């Protein structure tokens, strides 16, 4: 059974592999480690559809790890704006500089794990996909595929050790990169969290979840926790067709990103005279951000022409804040 799982999946992948700009197709020379690394970092918590055009822009601007290492932090953070999880961008810069300094990427998991920002999954993925090393590559999609294949019903958070052992059992010595990407594709396109397409799955004959008749029940969902809610204020200071922007502290949420100045986010009530308010959800909490007009600029920053505000590299929260201010103006003008 174990050997049949790998061979069946690889044969399916040979025919149905997704064409992605960072991927070498089955039988081709492995992709440039720089492209594999960059794509894996971008794809963390972000969909393929969102990443694909942003990846192309990134590689056009910085076609090698050496070019990325030489870029200014502000340029990279600005290009990353809108992709979210901005610690990834800071780690990307740090990692590029380490790799450029050593003359290239390490070619094994241990060496890759020593690089800034590379966890177990990313190191294993690069080792397998870029360097052909046998590695157990487990992302969220792969966890679900393995849990269903072996009938592991517990929530993933409780079953990760068991899932890893099972994934190790089916990972072949040959074509580990193709196998890793085949598992990812299977989870993304067929063995989906909802409405899995079991009729199209090459592993259906081996799948315990399919045999049970209720494949969606595997693995059990994790208990949902309500996120805490916070309140904050951003200050809108406008002068001569420009708005005052600052850069957030390098460490912490949205670290190093361009932003409207403002206070700490907590539980203080929003100001009564806000010109607009935006709601935003972060991973661990939700936020209502009130935008308040202020005459004098606050903090170290710069005057950004409003006509080029889209080029400032604002993250989604502050892009939405700017849009809310402009929308409010349109409402007032229409009235």
Report angle CA 256, 40, 140 to the nearest 5 degrees. 105
Measured CA distances, 141 to 196, 200, 202, 223, 250 (Å): 12, 17, 16, 19, 32
Q: How far apart are CA 15 and CA 91, in angstroms?
A: 35
Task: Give the HSE-up count for residue 179: Cα atoms under 13 Å, Cβ half-sphere.
Answer: 26
Contact 295, 237 (CB under 8 A): yes
| Residue 78: both structure tokens together | 């600005």
Which sequence positions are flagged as catalytic?
A: 40
Q: Which of 240, 169, 239, 182 is nearest to 1 (CA)?
A: 169
Report angle CA 84, 122, 146 to the nearest 5 degrees. 105
Q: How far apart are CA 195 and CA 241, in angstroms?
A: 51
Measured CA distances, 6 to 9, 148, 172 (Å): 5, 15, 7
């Amino acid at each position: 059974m174990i050997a049949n799982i790998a061979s069946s999946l690889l044969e399916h992948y040979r025919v149905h592999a997704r064409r992605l700009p960072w991927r070498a197709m089955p039988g081709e020379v492995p992709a440039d480690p720089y492209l594999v690394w960059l794509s894996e970092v971008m794809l963390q918590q972000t969909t393929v559809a969102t990443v694909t055009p942003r990846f192309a822009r990134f590689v056009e601007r910085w076609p090698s790890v050496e070019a990325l290492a030489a870029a200014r932090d502000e340029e990279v953070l600005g290009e990353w704006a809108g992709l979210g999880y901005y610690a990834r961008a800071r780690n990307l810069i740090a990692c590029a500089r380490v790799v450029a300094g050593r003359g290239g990427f390490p070619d094994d998991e241990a060496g890759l794990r020593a690089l800034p920002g590379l966890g177990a999954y990313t190191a294993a993925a690069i080792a397998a996909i870029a360097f052909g090393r046998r590695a157990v590559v487990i992302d969220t999609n792969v966890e679900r595929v393995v849990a269903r294949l072996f009938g592991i019903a517990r929530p993933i958070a409780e079953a990760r050790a068991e899932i890893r052992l099972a994934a190790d059992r089916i990972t072949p010595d040959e074509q580990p990169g193709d196998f890793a990407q085949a598992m990812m594709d299977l989870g993304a396109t067929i063995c989906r969290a909802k409405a899995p397409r079991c009729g199209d799955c090459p592993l259906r004959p081996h799948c315990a979840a399919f045999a049970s008749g209720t494949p969606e029940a595997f693995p059990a969902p994790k208990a949902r926790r309500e996120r805490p809610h916070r309140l904050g204020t951003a200050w809108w200071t406008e002068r001569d067709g420009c708005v005052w922007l600052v850069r957030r502290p390098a460490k912490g949420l949205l670290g190093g990103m361009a932003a409207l100045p403002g206070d700490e986010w907590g539980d203080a009530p929003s100001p009564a005279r806000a010109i607009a308010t935006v709601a935003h959800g972060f991973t661990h909490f939700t936020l209502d951000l009130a935008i308040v007009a202020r005459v004098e600029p606050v903090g170290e920053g710069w005057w950004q022409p409003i006509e080029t505000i889209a080029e400032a590299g604002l993250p989604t929260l502050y892009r939405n804040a700017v849009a809310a201010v402009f929308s409010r103006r349109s409402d007032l003008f229409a009235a």
